[in-house]
Structure 1
Amino acid sequence: MPAEAIPDPESLSLKLADEAATARLAQAIAGALRAGTTIHLSGDLGSGKTAFTRALLRFLGHTGRAKSPTFSLLEPYNLSSFDLYHFDFYRLSSERAWLDAGFDEYLDGRGVVVIEWPEMAGDTLPAPDLLLRIRCDPTAGADARLVEAVGRGPRGRECLNAIRAAGFCGPDSGLAAAPR
């Protein structure tokens, strides 16, 4: 039986003016999520990974406090449509530490998984449906961000389509697509 082909990724480059724009990006993506979706958030300290996840949880209906999993490594959330598992791998002691902790059981397709600092797991993580590389853009203001959104497979494409549909790539969006 031939191995399943890995679909070519598709990407968008975005400029976000401030934290409110980051929240609007989370809102757009929230509408496209379904159980089994995996999102990786990569970027420097302070680039907005946790802020994005907090906004995502809010738009998915979570009304309580959304804690950063920096020290606990995992914060689970039981939402009405699915469970969301928010990981932060920044403090992993080795690339395999997440596997040794049994966290691979959360990648079973029954919930949505958001992983900050996926690069700390090396090549031990499966490819995400959506990768958001977030970095600060000091040339555009203290709160401005540049985001590369890379989607893979049907779930990743749904997220990218939701970003487009929310007006992030249009000429009048105020959040223009970054030059490639």
Structure 2
Amino acid sequence: MTTSIRLTGETAMLAFAARMAPLLREGGLIFLEGTLGAGKTTLSRGLIQAFGHEGSVKSPTYTLVEEYSVAGLRVCHFDLYRLGDPEELEYMGIREYLDEGTLCLVEWPDKGAGVLPAPDLVIAIDDAGDSRILNWQAHTPRGQRWSEGLAGLV
């Protein structure tokens, strides 16, 4: 089952991310899908800052991953847009990032197809002009718990 919410403006996206954060404290894998400029990094920044990170949150477009340790939670933010081949993930040690207590946010997950495991949750962000529509779908029992929690925020 897919659930969705329409958010107008960056402030609304950041506020929704802040409301999402408490649901995601156990760690897991979230795929973020959408076109360039749809808001994947904005949503990630909102989550990471909601967990307590006070510095800037930059897009890991060139580094592939930025790691944050906040309030006892490890958050890894991936941007695979520039990934040449999914096998590159093996060389960078992707499995070390995907441990049970780490929250992994993966932008452009299709670039890692065949190497990335199935996500707990997929959040697709559709550009609707001055607003964004977030659609999410669970793929695991953890993802189902998150999806139900997110539905309660709508």
Q: Residue deviations 1:79-106, cap 9 Å, x none?
A: 1131101111001011221122212211
1:68 equivalent in structure 2: 59
- What is the DSSP-based 3-state SS (H/G/I as helix, E as strand, rest coil) of the residue aligned with 1:67? coil
Q: How many angstroms apart in 1 are the aligned matches of 2:15 and 2:149?
A: 11
Match of 1:178 in 2: none
State the secondary structure of the residue aligned to 2:24. coil
Q: Which amino acid aligns with 2:71?
A: S
TM-score scaled by structure 1?
0.80
Distance apart, 1:126 and its partner CA: 1.0
Partner of 1:23: 14
CA contact (8 A) 1:36 1:107 kept: no
Structure 2 CA distance for aligned equivalents of residues 27 and 62 of structure 1:
12
Please state if 1:94 is matched with 2:85. Answer: yes
Gaps in structure 2 of 5+ consecutive residues: none
SS at 2:37 equivalent: coil
Counterpart in the other structure of 1:161: 148
Q: Alignment identity in percent?
A: 35
Q: Aligned equivalents of 1:97 and 1:148: distance in 2?
A: 29
Q: Residues 153-179 of structure 1: CA distance to partner in whole angstroms, max 9, x if unpaired? A: 23212222222222x1xxxxxxxxxxx
- More strand per residue: 2
Q: CA deviation at 1:113?
A: 0.6
What is the one-letter code of the residue matched to 1:18? G
Shift in Å at residue 13 of structure 1?
Answer: 2.3
Tell me the TM-score normalized by structure 2: 0.92
* Structure 1: runs of 5+ lacking an equivalent: 1-9, 169-180
What amino acid maps onto 2:47 in structure 1? L
Superposition map of 1:2-13 within 5 A? 10-13=1-4
Match of residue 176 from structure 1: none
Is this contact kept in 1: 2:2–2:136, CA < 8 A? yes
Other-structure match for 2:68: 77
Matched residues in 2 for 1:36 and 1:61: separation?
15
Report the 3-state secondary structure (helix = DSSP H, G, I; strand = E; otherwise coil) of the residue aligned with 2:23: coil
Q: Report the Cα offset of residue 120 of structure 1.
A: 0.6
1:22 is aligned with what amino acid? M
Larger radius of gyration: 1
What is the rounded CA distance, in whole Å, between the counterparts of 1:28 and 1:150 in structure 2? 18
The amino acid that maps onto 1:94 is D
